[in-house]
Amino acid sequence: MAKRIFITATNTDIGKTYVTSHLLKHYASLGFKVGVIKPIETGVVEEPLDGSLLLALVQSLNAEMVELTVDDIVPIQFQLPAAPYCANSAKSIDLSVVDEAIDKIESLCDILIIEGAGGLYVPIDKETMIIDLIERFEAKALLVSHCRLGCINDTILSIKALQERDINLVWTLNCHADDKSFSTVSEPYFKDQYPDFTIFKNDIAKIADTLLL
């Protein structure tokens, strides 16, 4: 079985696909055969945008992925840009298709990166949240947080949610160029309480190494 890493975040639009893409490139540069899957994507009109980007990237990094299609990368797709629960009218979702896709993809790779949707408690159906997928797939979690005002609260809540499930996790901050207030309104807390905290763009190698431990 490939090493499984699940990319999750404190909310939507935090940068999960950005982080996933850079980790794929980093691991490939070290000689690993990489694979990727985004189990569920919503807001799909003609084709899944995130899934298409990830497919093109992973095929450029791992020649064994050349026969895969975007439906392999994103086995569950919905048109409405909303939580899967809402996008699928609260109907049950058969996750066995994701299990089958994972089996197919990880037979071609050493490291499989699984990109989640939204935050940990995005509902998939009446029985399942995104956080449940991390346990289902027996993956190590990389929690990605933002650097805007409110990131302290969002980060701590998500860390606690993962710890309560005994999920093995690494966390990082994905700061954008316009997050100019971070150094004064949030960073002092992280420096005091989490002195080893990382900022993704500065610490990709360190994060990638820790995820493999």
Contacts of 101 (CB under 8 A, 6+ apart): 37, 39, 72, 73, 75
pLDDT tens series, the chain, 213 aa = 799 999 999 999 999 999 999 999 999 999 999 999 999 999 999 999 999 999 999 999 999 999 999 999 999 999 999 999 999 999 999 999 999 999 999 999 999 999 999 999 999 999 999 999 999 999 999 999 999 999 999 999 999 999 999 999 999 999 999 999 999 999 999 999 999 999 999 999 999 999 999
Q: How far apart are the C-alpha atoms of 171 and 173, rounded to whole Å?
A: 7
CATH number of domain containing 196: 3.40.50.300
Is 212 domain-assigned? no
Q: How far apart are the C-alpha atoms of 147 and 68, rounded to whole Å?
A: 35
Is 163 domain-assigned? yes
- SS3 (DSSP) at 34: strand
Residue 148 lies in domain: 3-179+189-202
pLDDT for the residue numbered 1: 75
Question: For the segment 10-63, what is each residue's pLDDT rounded down to a tens digit?
Answer: 999 999 999 999 999 999 999 999 999 999 999 999 999 999 999 999 999 999
Contact criterion met (CB below 8 Å) for 114 and 5: yes
Q: How far apart are the C-alpha atoms of 213 and 173, rounded to whole Å?
A: 20
Q: How far apart are the C-alpha atoms of 23 and 112, rounded to whole Å?
A: 10
pLDDT for the residue numbered 113: 98
**pTM of model > 0.95:** yes
Is 70 domain-assigned? yes
Is 211 domain-assigned? no
Contact criterion met (CB below 8 Å) for 113 and 22: no
Is 210 domain-assigned? no
Is 169 domain-assigned? yes
Is 52 domain-assigned? yes
Contact criterion met (CB below 8 Å) for 70 and 34: no
Is 10 domain-assigned? yes
User: How many domains, the chain?
Assistant: 1
Q: What angle do CA 138, 199, 3 make, to 5 degrees?
A: 20
Q: Which of 25, 38, 91, 104 is catalytic?
A: 38
The two structure tokens encoding residue 37: 């899957």
Q: How far apart are the C-alpha atoms of 26 and 22, rounded to whole Å?
A: 6
- Concerning whether 33 is annotated as a catalytic residue, the answer is no
